[in-house]
Structure 1
Amino acid sequence: MSRQLDEQLAARYPVGQRLRILDVGMGQGTQALRLARAGHQVTGVEQDPGMVAAARAALAEEPEGIRGRVRLVEGDGRETGVHFLPGSFDVVLCHGVLMYVEDPDALLAGLARMLAPGGLLSLLVRNGDALAMRPGLAGDWQAALGSFDTLSYRNRLGLDVRADRLDALTATLAGIGAPLHAWYGVRVFTDTAGDDVPVPPPGEFHTLLAAEERAGRTEPFRRVAALLHLCGVRG
């Protein structure tokens, strides 16, 4: 997914331009730090105190130049209008957040307002059209059958959350003035791998990533991915 984001940034902005990036629901700051290391100014928003503490600890380990490019804000992503002026950012990330929001439309509209004209809105969501894939491949036929007519599911943390359908999000992005520009599938082949599975040797891991990248861009494979990465552009 990071490669897909980098591809979109490279296509939209001159090489070397320092972008103003807002990472909503930044978690422990992995993506924010990666982008700061690339030279961008990054603001991370996170409401979980434990995650904020982890992000601050990770940031403290970075060189001074990188620390100076990152601002951490403890708060709710639905309240960006309280912290920032409209049009303040070139890029807004909202990765792995919408599944925890009952009604995401208001959140997305607020995030779109944060974008400067031509800015990029990057979303990572659970694919509501493919909820039956994981239980089906695991041989849990009852759960697979029950997944066709719902957007609710239980994630690997044991939390009851929700998924989003591509068509619905496409309509929402058009309605908030950041129409869909590109989309990818994420975790097409590897979604059923357990968290404790060891990372393959470098050569095999590179081939695995190449296969996932290809599938995430190719029909019909990307439509059955566990996650969708959507990129909208502010008009």
Structure 2
Amino acid sequence: MARQLDEQIIGRFPVGQRLRVLDVGMGQGTQSLRLARAGHQVTGVEQDSTMISVARRSLAAEPEGIRGRVRIVESDGRDTGVHFLPGSFDVVLCHGVLMYVEEPDALLAGLARMLAPGGLLSLLVRNADALAMRPGLAGDWAGTLTAFDTTTYTNRLGLDVRADGLDTLTGTLAGIGAPLHAWYGVRVFTDTAADDAAVPDDVDALLAAEERAGRTDPYRRVAALLHLCGVRG
């Protein structure tokens, strides 16, 4: 997914431009730090105090120049208008957040307002159109049949959360002034891998296969996650 995001950034902004990035739901700060290392000014938003502590520790280990490019704000992302002026960012990331938001439209509209004209909105969501894949591949046939008729599921943390469909989000993005520009599938072949699985010897081939499938129909449509990129008009 990082490669997909970089591809969209390179395609939209002049090479070498230092972008203003808002990372909503920054978690441990992996993506924020990666972008700060690339020279961008990053504001990370996170509500979980444990995650913030981990992110701060990781940031403290970075050189001073990188530390100076990262700001962390404690928030759930729904009050961006309180913290920032409209049009303050060139790129807004919202990765792995929407599944925890019961009614995401207001959040997305707020994030779109944070974008400068031509800015990029990057979303990573659970694919509602492929919820039956995980239980099906695991041989859970009762769970598979249930998954066909719902947009909710239990995640690996044991929490009941929701998924988003491509068509629905396409309509939402158009309605908030950041219409869909590109989309990808994420975790087409590897969704059932254990979180603590060892890195395989042929990891480069695995990543190449995932990258190819994430761009190719019909494979990307059954990915566990969708990566959508909208552009502010």
Q: Could you say which TM-score interval applies, normalised by the shorter chain?
A: over 0.9
Q: Do structure 1's residue 222 and structure 2's residue 226 form an aligned pair?
A: no
2:85 aligned counterpart, secondary structure? coil
1:222 aligned counterpart, secondary structure? helix
How many Å separate the matches in 2 of 1:11 and 1:209? 22
How many Å separate the matches in 2 of 1:165 and 1:27? 23
Residue in structure 2 matched with residue 167 of structure 1 by the alignment: 167
> Any gaps of 5 or more consecutive residues in structure 1?
none
1:171 aligned counterpart, secondary structure? helix
Pick the aligned partner of 1:208 from 206, 209, 214.
206
How many Å separate the matches in 1 of 2:229 and 2:65? 29
1:8 aligned counterpart, secondary structure? helix
Residue in structure 1 matched with residue 232 of structure 2 by the alignment: 234
Per-residue displacement from partner, 1:151-200 (whole Å, max 9, x unpaired)?
Answer: 00000011000000000000000000000000000000000111121001
Residue in structure 1 matched with residue 183 of structure 2 by the alignment: 183
How many Å separate the matches in 2 of 1:184 and 1:132? 19
How many Å separate the matches in 2 of 1:83 and 1:50? 21
Residue in structure 2 matched with residue 23 of structure 1 by the alignment: 23
How many Å separate the matches in 2 of 1:32 and 1:211? 26
Could you tell me which amino acid in structure 2 is paired with residue 107 of structure 1? Answer: L
Could you tell me which amino acid in structure 2 is paired with residue 92 of structure 1? Answer: V
1:117 aligned counterpart, secondary structure? strand
Alpha-carbon shift at residue 218 of structure 1 (Å): 0.2
2:78 aligned counterpart, secondary structure? helix
How many Å separate the matches in 2 of 1:76 and 1:125? 17
1:153 aligned counterpart, secondary structure? strand
How many Å separate the matches in 2 of 1:13 and 1:116? 12
RMSD over aligned Cα, in angstroms?
0.4
> Any gaps of 5 or more consecutive residues in structure 2?
none
How many Å separate the matches in 1 of 2:54 and 2:194? 24
Could you tell me which amino acid in structure 1 is paired with residue 51 of structure 2? Answer: M
Could you tell me which amino acid in structure 2 is paired with residue 153 of structure 1? Answer: Y
How many Å separate the matches in 2 of 1:21 and 1:80? 13
Alpha-carbon shift at residue 63 of structure 1 (Å): 0.3
Residue in structure 2 matched with residue 6 of structure 1 by the alignment: 6
Q: Equivalent pairs: percent with the same residue?
A: 82
Equivalence map 1:1-235=2 (5 Å):
1-201=1-201, 204-235=202-233
Alpha-carbon shift at residue 76 of structure 1 (Å): 1.8
Could you tell me which amino acid in structure 2 is paired with residue 148 of structure 1? Answer: F
Could you tell me which amino acid in structure 2 is paired with residue 209 of structure 1? Answer: L
Per-residue displacement from partner, 1:31-87 (whole Å, max 9, x unpaired)?
Answer: 000000000000000011111111111100000000000000011200000000000
Query: Structure 1 residues 105-114 or 191-200, which shifts more?
Result: 191-200
2:229 aligned counterpart, secondary structure? strand
Would you say how many aligned residue pairs link Structure 1 and Structure 2? 233
Could you tell me which amino acid in structure 2 is paired with residue 224 of structure 1? Answer: V
Q: Which consecutive aligned stretches of 4+ in structure 1 deviate over 4 angstroms post-superposition? A: none
2:50 aligned counterpart, secondary structure? helix
How many Å separate the matches in 2 of 1:133 and 1:15? 39
